[in-house]
Amino acid sequence: MNTNCKEHIVEVRSLLSVCRSFDSLLEKTLGPNGKSTLLTTPTGQVLITHVGCTILRCMNIRHPLGSMIIKSIAAHHNYTGDGSKTFVLYLTSILASIADSLENRFGFGSEQRYLLLSAVHYMRVHLSSDVVLPALQRNCVVFDISENRNVTMTTMHNLVNSCLCGKYTEIIRNHLCNLLIDFLCTGLSDFRNLPAEVSVCIDNFNLLCIDVDCMLPVSSYIYKGVIIQRDCLNFNHCPAETSHTRFILLHNCFTKTGGKSEVSSTLEAKDILSLNSIFLWKGQCSTALVNWAEKNNVNLILSTGSVDDMLHTLCLKAGISVVQFVDIEDFERLKMLFHIAAIEFISDLYEVKSEDLIGCSEVCNTQVFGQKRFVCLKLPDQHLSDTLKSYAQTPCENVTGLQMNRHICAHPCLKRQLVICGMSAGACQQIRLDLLYALKMLRVWLDSKWLDPKAPHYSAVHITGGGCFEMTCYGALEDFMKQNAGQLGVHATVCCEALCNAFLAVPLRLLHNSFQPSLATVPYIRERTKSQHTSGANISGYDGYSGCQLPVDASVIEPLMSKILLLDHVLELTEQLLRIDSLLHVKQLVQKSVCEEQTVHSLSDTSGGAVEFA
């Protein structure tokens, strides 16, 4: 196989041009007063969004360096739920300063580039922890989430409100904030379990949400129960609301259409009598299941596979409701909530205790969500569980109540459903994504133990928004450069100046997109930062709407950990990009067949000259 290999030298200017093209797409979207972008996805869908990561993903980027940058941004956004626009702004400002220094001071030699790479590595490893972090600890708020429940919920509300700022109206934003906080905190007796609750909610968020279109977003609510996104197969015999429903989970291995069977057999039918025996043998499993269900007072069967006509008919006569094609995620959720096992083979009915196979729901009904009807189960209340514990040791066939000793779950969020309403399916999906990003931001807010080893074990750390983080880091870095002017090398000084420019770029962009763009000047921000730093007061950011300076006790806050991770990820990517000296473009050459070569020779002979085929 013949290949053609070409080497392309990667200059810092080339990296800068890629980053500037990304930044030009996102510059108007930063801040609460940012504008949305209308674009077309690779699948042909029209999308209106202001999420930086979504905008970059929809661009058809073929450049290898551009793809590398977008993957790094997506990885950061996937963990923190935010920061993609600031990521691009940081990276663009740093590379612009480095490119100017290489052009005006050092030249474009590989040795100078390596020295700058070493300086960036020094800044990432030592400077961030020794210079920036102490200044941030003086300007952040650290508190114990388990100490005061009301303070914790108020802070969570401010964090989510700041995350949703600029995306919805104030009424919708407050409603969604209250909805998400109630969804997390209701039923959570000990707030020391809040980090685990947030993580479980993030991992199962799509399972915990139901989208209902053609309704206002303020109509979103919390359903206290489990919604199975399927309807009853025999709906006419499914009661509108049944108290104390007993149900079983039927794995698709049990059904004939599951493709699996406990015994593989081939039978030969020679006459009508033997044919009837075969059909009778095929129905023995279904008959045994229904008889066992009637004996144990089972009202509902939930199956992951298709229910055949014979089992359906038998359940219909026995008054047992059937739901088929239950999602495997819902299936596993019910197993975990009710502490029961699924029935896979007919032998499970006789080898496993019946109480380990039967789940007990306080209420079972069917409700309409939008234009679809779903089956809903409700777990019994805690006080009902305590009063009926005496039934736990009673045999199933003699129990008319519930066995309540096995349904207690460690994560209350799994016991309820978040019904998200929107005017269209796309609006519901956007609200769902925004709430998921807010949950990821809360996760980072709660993961802040390493910032302050002396803080309580269950601590959370946040800082004022509006560029407060960047101006605090800028002031600390400026002081460090003044105090160590004679010790810092030239390349380290250049990298410190590049990082200072990156820190200034964020408040500049916020002010530029606010209603006072005339304030977006470097001298104005430097003077404000210097005056606050000299007075010893905490540095405050700027309001993205009005452009005014935020008060010290402003409700616009953001997790400190997410900003530190953002800075670390940008410096790490800068190191990786500076290590790339060249790109190899390998192209496969298609060999011509013998017939094509003969045709070329014959044409060249008849025309008297060579003929070149592209």
Nearest-angstrom CA–CA distance, 494 and 482: 14
In a domain, 219, yes or no: no
pLDDT tens digits for range 105-122 = 766 667 788 888 888 988
Judged against a pLDDT cut of 80, whether residue 239 lies above it is answered with: no
Residues contacting residue 256 through CB under 8 Å, at least 6 positions apart: 282, 308
Nearest-angstrom CA–CA distance, 85 and 162: 16
Instruction: Check whether residue 373 and residue 238 sit in a common domain.
Output: yes
**CATH code of 39's domain:** 1.10.560.10
**CA-to-CA dists, residue 554 to 164, 213, 466, angstroms:** 16, 35, 10
Instruction: Check whether residue 278 and residue 371 sit in a common domain.
Output: yes
In a domain, 602, yes or no: no
**CATH code of 327's domain:** 3.50.7.10
Kindly report the number of other CB atoms within 10 A of residue 187's CB atom: 16
In a domain, 9, yes or no: yes
Mean pLDDT across the chain, nearest whole number? 80
Q: Which of 73, 104, 107, 110 is nearest to 90 (CA)?
A: 73
Instruction: Check whether residue 117 and residue 174 sit in a common domain.
Output: no
In a domain, 90, yes or no: yes
Instruction: Check whether residue 78 and residue 25 sit in a common domain.
Output: yes
Q: In terms of DSSP H, where are the helices of 370-467?
A: 382-387, 425-446
In a domain, 362, yes or no: yes
pLDDT tens digits for range 508-545 = 999 999 888 888 888 888 888 888 777 777 788 888 88
In a domain, 59, yes or no: yes
**Segments forming the whole domain that contains residue 245:** 226-261+274-390+401-415
Q: In terms of DSSP H, where are the helices of 52-148?
A: 52-58, 64-80, 84-101, 110-122, 133-139
Residue 17 φ then ψ, to 5° = -65, -35
**Beta strand 321-323 pairing with 46-49:** unpaired
In a domain, 217, yes or no: no
Instruction: Check whether residue 202 and residue 78 sit in a common domain.
Output: no
pLDDT at 401: 35
In a domain, 353, yes or no: yes
Instruction: Check whether residue 307 and residue 256 sit in a common domain.
Output: yes
Q: How many domains does the chain have?
A: 3
pLDDT at 269: 58
Judged against a pLDDT cut of 80, whether residue 612 lies above it is answered with: no
Task: Provide the pLDDT confidence category of residue 281 given band limits of 50, 70 and 90.
Answer: low
Nearest-angstrom CA–CA distance, 309 and 315: 10
Instruction: Check whether residue 167 and residue 248 sit in a common domain.
Output: no
Nearest-angstrom CA–CA distance, 7 and 495: 29
CB distance 78 to 434 below 8 Å: no
Instruction: Check whether residue 369 and residue 235 sit in a common domain.
Output: yes
Instruction: Check whether residue 250 and residue 365 sit in a common domain.
Output: yes
Judged against a pLDDT cut of 70, whether residue 397 lies above it is answered with: no
Instruction: Check whether residue 286 and residue 407 sit in a common domain.
Output: yes
pLDDT tens digits for range 178-224 = 999 999 998 888 888 899 899 999 998 988 999 998 899 999 999 98
Instruction: Check whether residue 169 and residue 109 sit in a common domain.
Output: no
pLDDT at 153: 93
Residues contacting residue 210 through CB under 8 Å, at least 6 positions apart: 223, 227, 229, 369, 374, 417, 418, 419, 420
Instruction: Check whether residue 384 and residue 471 sit in a common domain.
Output: no
Nearest-angstrom CA–CA distance, 185 and 197: 9
CB distance 61 to 544 below 8 Å: no
